[in-house]
Amino acid sequence: MVRGEGTTAQGFASPAKIQHSLKGAHYPSTKSDLVNLAKRNNAPGDVMSVLDLIPEKEYISPAHVMKEVGKKE
């Protein structure tokens, strides 16, 4: 499989790509807040797919988001 730019070996969006899509986020934020922000930032489909997988809860920082994303990869 050929990886696209900004994807991990497993085919997930890279952390940098996810954080770029969440630019402007204010924490704490809910999953819904983050998904809506990513949509407004025109996040690509692979980022939206990962964000759809994270649990419904409040996220206190970008690192907290990435910790949950890491559990899904």
pLDDT tens track for 40-65: 999 999 999 999 999 999 999 999 99
Q: pLDDT confidence of 72, banded at 50, 70, 90?
A: confident
Q: List the domain range (segments joined by +) for residue 30.
A: 15-72
46 in a structural domain: yes
64 in a structural domain: yes
pLDDT score of 59 = 98
60 in a structural domain: yes
Q: What is the model's pTM?
A: 0.82
65 in a structural domain: yes
**How confident is the model over 18-48, as pLDDT tens digits?**
999 999 999 999 999 999 999 999 999 999 9
How far apart (Å, rounded) are the C-alpha atoms in residues 69 and 7? Answer: 13
From residue 55, alpha-carbon distances to 3, 4, 44, 50 in Å are 26, 26, 20, 11
